[in-house]
Amino acid sequence: MNAYNQYKEKKVLITGHTGFKGTWLVAILHKLGAEILGYALMPETDNCIYNQIDGDNLCKSVIGDIRDKIKLEKNIIEFQPDFVFHLAAQAIVIKSYDIPSETFEVNVVGTANLLESLNKLTKKCTVVVITTDKVYENNDKGQPFHEKDRLGGYDPYSASKACTELTVSSFRNSFFNITEIEYHKKSIVSVRAGNVIGGGDYSENRIIPDVINALIKNEQIVLRSPNSIRPWQHVLEPTFAYLKLGLYLDSNPNKFSRPFNIGPKTDDHLTVEELVKKVISIWGSGTYVHSIDAKLHEAEVLKLDISMAENILNWIQIYNSSEAIEKTITWYKKEDKIAITNKQIEEYISEIS
């Protein structure tokens, strides 16, 4: 039996369910038979993956701001979730330069609102908080970051996510201390995932959406940071890791109430330019040029040490970077988005079963 079937008939709250990763998580949990409540802002675009796969038919959707604590708490108490996956965030680095205070409000205060609301919940609840690989203080020396490395953040987005990690740690110590779990019945894990690619991402200033948009319009692709190295991974890798962590944490909170890195193997990192070359090859056409415009600060090298996920969580990377890119481009090329989304989920489940 597939271990993930343990989510069948469980009540699962997903914040940020209308977003890219949130929608994939909705689709997976719906297939697993979970009862899903989504809480998020309206989708940013009409052609987003949530609308393309008819997300409203897969879950109960509540449109709300994570900063609206009263509304958030009301929905949590009424729903009585068994599991919570917190993905609601302002997730774009460049956008964080335009709206820095809002980025901190959404990512830090929003997380605090969620955790404070869960403190009012009297039943057992397992919480998975999603942050980012950018929470570490990056000196661009190229070493893979371990979960025990110092947190930091040059830009507002990265700093806000580092603060989110501190918020999780504070609530875990102050309100959901593992030594008192019989009383509060809550356990929390945070997950720092690498750069996620996959079908259905239409966010501005992300490499895959920018490249796909240029290819569809037959325009030249402009690369801001062609030599930057990132831990690319297909969206199904971290989403299934979140689900696995949820189950492991639920059964053994003493062992899994901690942060985890999720990313590709350290020998499977590509530069932005290498990624784009592979996309063009799979797409069958396209050209690119290096940007000559002044750009905001971005780390040149970002790698994750995933040994703890491999050794403690028994997590295994299924798709290498080339396979992740191929599956991403295949999704965008298919007209029936519901069919290709379900097909790719089923293929992944067959790989891990």
Cα separation, 16 vs 121, in Å, equals 20
For residue 47, what are its two tokens? 């052609």
pLDDT on residue 269: 83
Phi-psi domain of 91 (left: phi exceeds 0; alpha: psi -120 through 50; beta: other): alpha
Phi-psi region of 332 (alpha: psi -120 to 50; beta: other; left: phi over 0): alpha
β-strand pairing of 186-193 with 60-63 = unpaired
Which residue, among 188, 268, 190, has the nearest Cα to 234 in the 3D structure?
268
Q: Which helix (H) or strand (E) holds 29?
A: helix 20-31
Of 166, 161, 87, 76, which Cα lies nearest the Cα of 119?
76
Contact 189, 129 (CB under 8 A): yes
Reported CATH class of domain 8-197+233-264+302-321+337-352 = alpha beta
β-strands 221-223, 288-290 pairing: parallel
Kindly give the pairing relationship between strand 125-130 and strand 233-234. Answer: unpaired
The type of residue at 279 is V
Q: What is the pLDDT of residue 295?
A: 64
Enumerate the domain spans of the chain.
Answer: 8-197+233-264+302-321+337-352
Tell the residue number behind the tokens 């403690």, with chain if given. Answer: 312
Can you list the alpha helix ranges (DSSP code H) found in 187-271? 207-216, 236-251, 253-256
Dig out the tokens for 169 from the structure: 């740690």
Instruction: Quick: pLDDT tens for 259-269.
Output: 999 998 878 88
Q: What is the pLDDT of residue 1?
A: 45
Task: Summarize pLDDT for 224-259 with one digit per residue, the tens.
Answer: 888 888 888 999 999 999 999 999 999 999 999 999
pLDDT value for 296: 67
Residue segments in the chain with a per-residue pLDDT below the cut of 70: 1, 292-297
Alpha-carbon distances, residue 181 vs 74, 178, 245, 246, 307 (angstroms): 23, 5, 18, 16, 27
Nearest to 197 by CA among 224, 232, 228: 232
The token duo for 195 is: 């750069």
**Distance from C-alpha of 15 to C-alpha of 46, rounded to nearest angstrom:** 19
| 286 sits in which H/E element | none
